[in-house]
């Protein structure tokens, strides 16, 4: 089965959808505002050396001069690890000097960017360290066997004249020789082009920027099952073609520009799918539905039949709903990019054969997902526990924030509950203070209730405390917000 890739480009955001047989399987979103300078390489010019602070200002072409501390100079690192005498910064840098630097911290407020000369370039599975001849393995790869094998393989693929080293990223877990080799040669190609630029360009100039989402798609997502890669921006299409020519020539023929009238994402109903992927409930064709709840600790998926199930086909209906749910929830996990512990609560099935068939269907559906997962069998309570590796943020984390009205509880106190709360509070305050009048500032719904159904209770309280109570609508207030003003 082939997967098509749709790339929607706007000045503020790039969105990528993986579509298989007309249905969206995976979404990636990158906002321009989130793209900083970290990781970018510049040919900078030293503008001032400050021996007292053992640091220097470097012009890299940004609004403010960037900053480098002696500890982030390559020579200093080497000296420290060798235990030899440390060379002060004024012996290493001089004003006007051209210097290849990498941004390690974005500029913030009045502070310029922070730089290092310890260069590193990230690939798909490896990070290349052109000046550091070591091979390191990510802590997150736990198996000692994997670590040893990865180290040996990466070392064996390195050419004789290699002066640099590699860090093996978590993504390399389970990588084939072919993939490791491809990543090494990709990183070397990039490094060669950076060096060539550094020789030919004036200061300050940019030598390398971290890949955009669209470029990462070509590097990381394209495989044998990829169909067409359709891009709705002419300039991005050209950029991708240029990039692919150098780094991934095999995908060149699959990149095409989309210039249709209809928005590209509408052609596969992607925006509708995004809206659906943000809601708790997912409807199934059979009439059943899923309820997906994401908390900090775990995600639960509850499978429900739609309405009344009865008669002779009871077991059969439940079995079919669970089968459909298995496929739908596998897709939702990927679409929403849910990670961590996931508890699946299928509808109870008495038949052991049905249970194993649902589990098989689930595993089959999950197999399309590139993310690492574990799936248990049915527990005694009839639950299936699974884990899915956390990678980037979940879709909901990326696009939403906790509801300020309900504090993310998912419900708000009813207007009547709030009316009674307000009445009690006025009573409490009337014992403590002695104002001329009380005024309730509240949302329209609360004020309406006080004017109509709860008007008697309000009047009774006013009589009881011997003070007038007035009402005022505060249209900016949410339902749960109110103020009691003493006048």
> In whole angstroms, how close is the CB of 207 to Zn ion at the nearest point?
47
> In whole angstroms, how close is the CB of 404 to Zn ion at the nearest point?
8
Structure tokens that stand for 29 in this block: 């979103």
Query: Between residues 310 and 410, which has the closer beta carbon with respect to Zn ion?
Result: 410
> In whole angstroms, how close is the CB of 413 to Zn ion at the nearest point?
11
SS3 69: strand
Edge-first strand order for the sheet with 23-31 is 23-31, 13-20, 3-9, 226-231, 255-257
> In whole angstroms, how close is the CB of 443 to Zn ion at the nearest point?
14
Rounded (10°) CA dihedral 138, 144, 147, 148: 150
Q: Using CB under 5 A, which residues numbered 204 to 263 contact Zn ion?
A: none
Q: Does 268 bind Zn ion (CB under 5 A)?
A: no
The span of 11-19, 101-109, 275-283, 402-410 binding Zn ion (CB under 5 A) equals: 402-410
What is the spatial distance between Cα 143 and Cα 151, in angstroms, rounded to a whole number? 12
DSSP-derived secondary structure for 345-357: EPPP---HHHHHH
Q: Is 307 left (phi over 0), alpha (psi -120 to 50) or beta?
A: left
Q: Does 405 bind Zn ion (CB under 5 A)?
A: yes
> In whole angstroms, how close is the CB of 197 to Zn ion at the nearest point?
51
Structure tokens that stand for 396 in this block: 């909901």
The span of 8-16, 33-41, 188-196, 397-405 binding Zn ion (CB under 5 A) equals: 397-405
The span of 50-58, 116-124, 179-187, 395-403 binding Zn ion (CB under 5 A) equals: 395-403
Query: Between residues 38 and 403, which has the closer beta carbon with respect to Zn ion?
Result: 403
DSSP-derived secondary structure for 258-323: ---SS-GGGGGTHHHHHHHHTSSEEE-TTS-EEEEEE-SSEEEEEEE--S---STTHHHHHHHHHH
Query: Between residues 403 and 460, which has the closer beta carbon with respect to Zn ion?
Result: 403
SS3 237: helix
> In whole angstroms, how close is the CB of 216 to Zn ion at the nearest point?
34
Residues 6+ apart with CB under 8 A from 50: 56, 57, 89
> In whole angstroms, how close is the CB of 403 to Zn ion at the nearest point?
3
Query: Between residues 212 and 478, which has the closer beta carbon with respect to Zn ion?
Result: 478
> In whole angstroms, how close is the CB of 273 to Zn ion at the nearest point?
23
Of residues 406, 445, 471, 473, which one binds Zn ion by CB under 5 A? 406
Query: Between residues 108 and 408, which has the closer beta carbon with respect to Zn ion?
Result: 408
The interaxial angle of helices 415-432 and 444-451, nearest 10 deg, is: 80
The span of 53-61, 130-138, 213-221, 405-413 binding Zn ion (CB under 5 A) equals: 405-413
Query: Between residues 63 and 401, which has the closer beta carbon with respect to Zn ion?
Result: 401
SS3 250: helix
Q: Which helix (H) or strand (E) holds 210?
A: none
The span of 42-50, 168-176, 380-388, 403-411 binding Zn ion (CB under 5 A) equals: 403-411
Q: Does 403 bind Zn ion (CB under 5 A)?
A: yes
Contact 405, 397 (CB under 8 A): no
Whether the link from the prior residue into 204 is cis, omega within 30° of 0, is yes
> In whole angstroms, how close is the CB of 304 to Zn ion at the nearest point?
22
* Residue 139 dihedral angles phi and psi, to the nearest 5°: -55, -30
Query: Between residues 382 and 404, which has the closer beta carbon with respect to Zn ion?
Result: 404
Query: Between residues 406 and 486, which has the closer beta carbon with respect to Zn ion?
Result: 406
Query: Between residues 291 and 406, which has the closer beta carbon with respect to Zn ion?
Result: 406
Query: Between residues 53 and 403, which has the closer beta carbon with respect to Zn ion?
Result: 403
> In whole angstroms, how close is the CB of 477 to Zn ion at the nearest point?
15
Query: Between residues 412 and 473, which has the closer beta carbon with respect to Zn ion?
Result: 412
Calculate the alpha carbon distances from 85 to 49, 79, 186, 429 in Å: 20, 7, 37, 72
For residue 373, give the nearest of 365, 430, 164 by alpha carbon.
Answer: 365
Q: Does 396 bind Zn ion (CB under 5 A)?
A: no
Contact 342, 387 (CB under 8 A): yes
The span of 154-162, 218-226, 308-316, 399-407 binding Zn ion (CB under 5 A) equals: 399-407
- State the DSSP code for 171: G
Residues near Zn ion (CB under 5 A), total = 3
> In whole angstroms, how close is the CB of 405 to Zn ion at the nearest point?
5
Q: Does 459 bind Zn ion (CB under 5 A)?
A: no
The span of 265-273, 342-350, 373-381, 398-406 binding Zn ion (CB under 5 A) equals: 398-406
**Residues that bind Zn ion in the complex, under the rule CB under 5 A:** 403, 405-406
């Amino acid at each position: 089965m082939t997967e098509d890739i749709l790339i929607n480009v706007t000045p503020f955001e790039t969105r990528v959808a993986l579509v298989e047989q007309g249905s969206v399987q995976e979404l990636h979103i990158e906002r321009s505002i989130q793209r900083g300078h970290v990781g970018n390489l510049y040919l900078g010019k030293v503008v001032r050396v400050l021996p007292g602070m053992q640091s220097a200002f470097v012009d890299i072409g940004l609004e403010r001069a960037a900053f480098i501390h002696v500890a982030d100079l390559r020579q200093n690192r080497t000296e420290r690890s060798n235990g030899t005498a440390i060379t002060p910064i004024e012996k290493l840098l001089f004003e006007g000097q051209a210097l290849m630097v990498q941004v390690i911290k974005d500029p913030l407020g009045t502070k310029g960017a922070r730089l290092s000369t310890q260069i590193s370039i990230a690939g798909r599975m490896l990070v290349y360290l052109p000046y550091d001849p070591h091979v390191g393995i990510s802590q997150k790869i736990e198996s000692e066997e994997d670590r040893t094998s990865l180290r040996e393989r990466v070392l064996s693929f390195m050419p004789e004249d290699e002066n640099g080293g590699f860090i093996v990223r978590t993504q390399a877990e389970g990588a084939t020789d072919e993939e490791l080799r491809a990543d090494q040669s990709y990183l070397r190609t990039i490094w060669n082009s950076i060096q060539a630029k550094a020789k030919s360009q004036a200061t300050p100039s940019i030598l390398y920027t971290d890949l955009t989402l669209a470029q990462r798609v070509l590097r990381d997502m394209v495989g044998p099952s990829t169909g067409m890669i359709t891009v709705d921006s002419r300039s991005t299409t050209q950029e991708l073609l240029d990039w692919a020519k150098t780094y991934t020539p095999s995908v060149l023929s699959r990149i095409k520009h989309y210039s249709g009238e209809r928005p590209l994402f509408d052609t596969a109903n992607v925006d509708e799918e995004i809206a659906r992927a943000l809601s708790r409930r997912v409807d199934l064709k059979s009439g059943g539905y899923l309820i997906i709840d994401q908390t900090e600790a775990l995600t639960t998926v509850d499978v429900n039949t739609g309405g009344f199930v009865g008669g002779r086909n009871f077991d059969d209906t439940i079995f079919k709903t669970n089968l459909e749910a298995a496929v739908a929830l596998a897709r939702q996990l990927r679409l929403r990019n849910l990670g961590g512990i996931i508890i699946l609560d299928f509808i109870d099935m008495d038949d052991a054969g049905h249970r194993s068939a649902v589990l098989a269907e689930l595993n089959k559906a999950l197999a399309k997902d590139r993310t690492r997962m574990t799936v248990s069998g049915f527990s005694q309570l009839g639950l299936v526990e699974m884990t899915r590796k956390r990678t980037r943020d979940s879709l909901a984390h990326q696009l939403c924030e906790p509801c300020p009205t309900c504090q993310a509880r998912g419900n708000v106190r009813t207007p009547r509950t709030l009316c009674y709360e307000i009445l009690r509070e006025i009573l409490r305050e009337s014992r403590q203070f002695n104002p001329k009048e009380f005024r309730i500032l509240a949302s329209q719904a609360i004020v309406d209730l006080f004017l109509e159904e709860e008007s008697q209770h309000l009047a009774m309280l006013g009589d009881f405390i011997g003070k007038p109570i007035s009402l005022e609508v505060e249209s900016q207030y949410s339902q749960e917000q109110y103020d009691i003003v003493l006048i």
